[in-house]
Amino acid sequence: MKNLESFPPSLRHLSEPSRALSSNDNGIGKPVEEEYLDPLPVIDFELLTNDKTKLEEACKHWGIFRLVNHGIPSTLLTQLHNQAQQLFSLSYHSKQASCNATPVRYFSGTPALTPSGTALKSGSEDINLLEGFNFPLTQLSQFQSQLPVLESFRVLMVEYGKHLSGIATTLFEGMVKNLELKLEPSGSYIAENTGYVRVYRYPPCSNTDAGLGMEVHTDSSVLSILNQQDQVTGLEILKHHQWLTVKPIANTLIINLGDIMQAISDDKYKSVAHKVKLNNHKERISICYFVFPEEDTKIESSKYRSFTYNEFRTQVQQDIKTIGHKVGLARFKRP
């Protein structure tokens, strides 16, 4: 494996010669054999207000879509990816040390993460085969890193965050309008101060028995915005009991609805199950933005008992600690 010392010790064994390949679909769905097919619906951000039907269909039937003409400069997306590569190429110990006592957190090989990027210990030996950094966007102006590459990335992330907040707000308002919901104030449901970005690196590994880069899950967010610029496959979504590969296409974004959006919509919109498989030959870097309601915002739904986001998050964290995995919306389902 290239630059082995930059990977956490828990991931370095993945450079060993591979054994026989297996399907490794975690028992959920059947893997699709077609290579590099991209089945996702495409939404043009510039035409969003004129094409409500497309957005409605994507949210109802997929819970995920590709966004084009989103307004983020391609130069910024390229710079983010290049800087992320440099950041991850640092030694494991440098990455750990660089995030002591700062809002930015480094993590690796963990079964789950809190919104602050802190590992939750479940008692399980299974881990997600990844490493990453957690950037709380509203706190980034409050510190400067002594590590030049991290400081450069922080500056880019501040600019990137401004774009993400605007995109998320516009998309959410479009969804709420399609659902004919009366949410006041809408800003408490998609609160800018809750937004954070996780930057992930997944090691290459041709041995599919080794495990998943990220386990099968749904996001707990209102929505998530994924930037995968490196043309390395790995992300898969569950659709009609089959796993579909989400093709990386430069200068596009992947919008993924989370559990809170599903609850707000009374299950009309779906929080799609997804996972990340390790690529056989190349490491994969992805940059994902998550946004949530204010902690005390009440989520009202005919399908679920009333809950605040804080109650939802607390329940998720408790389940991970006690039973080893997230249960999510099922905990709040009405009888």
- pLDDT, tens digit, 9 for 90 and up, residues 91-130: 999 998 888 767 899 998 765 444 444 444 433 445 789 9
Element (H, E) at 66: strand 64-68
Q: Can you give the pLDDT at residue 141?
A: 84
Taking the CA atoms of residue 114, residue 120, residue 125 and residue 128 in that order, the dihedral angle to the nearest 10 degrees is 20
Characterise 136 by phi-psi region: left (phi > 0), alpha (psi -120 to 50), beta (else). Answer: beta
Element (H, E) at 238: strand 235-239
In the chain, how many H helices and how many E strands?
Answer: 6, 15
Predicted confidence band at 285 (pLDDT cuts at 50, 70, 90)? very high
Element (H, E) at 84: helix 74-88
CATH 3.30.565.10 fits domain 4-298? no
Q: Which residues are catalytic?
A: 284
pTM, 2 dp: 0.89
pLDDT(81) > 60: yes
Structural domain boundaries in the chain = 4-298
More confident residue, 211 or 137: 137
Q: Can you give the pLDDT at residue 22?
A: 39
Predicted confidence band at 185 (pLDDT cuts at 50, 70, 90)? low
